[in-house]
Amino acid sequence: MHDSEPVITPSSLQADAVHVNRSGRAVLRGVSFSVDRGEIYALLGGNGAGKSTTLLTFLGLLRTEKGHVRVNGREVGDDPVAARCAMAYLPESAALYDHLDARENLEYLLGIAGSQATAREIATALDEMGLPPSAHSRALAEYSKGMRQKVALALATLRNSEILLLDEPTSGLDPSAIDEFHSLVRRLAGSGKSVLMVTHDLHGACHSADRVGLLRDGRLTHEFRASPEARINPAMVHQAFTASCPP
C-alpha cells in the first residue's frame, strides 16, 4: 500500500521517501532524489549503503515498504515491465556472450528485446562508443572489460533506452579506460539520456556527474550539484563522505 499521492514531477527517475527492506532488514530509509532528462546523477556510498538496492527498486525487482518510485512519472509498482522497457541496466559485469563477436551479440540481444537494427546501424553504434572497427568481428572472449562496456552501451543506444542505470560501471577499469567511459556517458547525457550511476569512485563521480548524492546506511545524507562554471569539488565530497563514516 502506498502513501497519499505526491505531486508528480517531469523527472525521468523519482524516488520519494522510499523505504525498502531485504531479508527483514531496513536497507533504504526514506531516500528521496530525482534524475532529470539529460542529467547524470551519481549515487556514492560504501558497501551495504543501499546503492544496488536503489537500482533494483527502480527496475521493479524489489518492492517498497513506503514511499514512491517513478519512471517517467509512472509508479514502477503499477507496471514494472513498462518501467524496465524505458531503461537499460548495465551491471558491474555486462552479461554478454564470449563466443559471439560484438555485432552478433547486439543482433541477438536486440532480437530478444524485440528490436531490430541494420548492420550499418550496429556498426555506427559501436563506432560511436569508440570500439575500433577491427574489433567488431572479434569474439568477446578477447575483449577487455572496457571494450565489453562499450558493447553494452551500444546496445543501450540501439534500444533507444531513455534512461541508463549503471552499477559500478568503472570497477576494474584502468585510469585511461575510466576517463574514456565517463566521456562516453557525458556524451549520452548530452543527447538527452538520463543516467543514474552507483559507484565507489568518488573522483569519477565528481568528474562526470551533474549531481552526486551520498548514501549512508540507507539514507541520503548529502547532495552536491555541479555548476555551469565548475564540476563538483571532490575535496568537499570526500570531507562529507568521511565525516559520515565511523572511525
Q: How do residues 170-190 score in pLDDT, each as one tens digit? A: 887 888 888 888 888 898 899
pLDDT at 246: 53
Of 38, 164, 46, 175, which is closest to residue 94 (Cα–Cα)? Answer: 164
Model confidence at 6, in pLDDT bands (50, 70, 90)?
A: very low
Average pLDDT, the chain: 88
Q: Domain locations in the chain?
A: 1-86+163-247, 94-161
Q: How do residues 124-157 score in pLDDT, each as one tens digit? A: 999 988 899 999 999 999 998 888 888 988 888 8
pTM of structure: 0.86
Return all residues near 153 (Cβ < 8 A) that are at least 6 apart.
90, 129, 164, 184, 185, 188
Model confidence at 8, in pLDDT bands (50, 70, 90)?
A: very low
Angle ∠(88,93,95) on CA atoms, nearest 5: 65
Residue type, 191: S
**Max intra-chain CA distance, the chain:** 55
Beta partners for residue 29, in sequence order: 19
- CATH architecture of the domain covering 1-86+163-247: 3-Layer(aba) Sandwich (3.40)
Percent of the chain with pLDDT over 90: 55
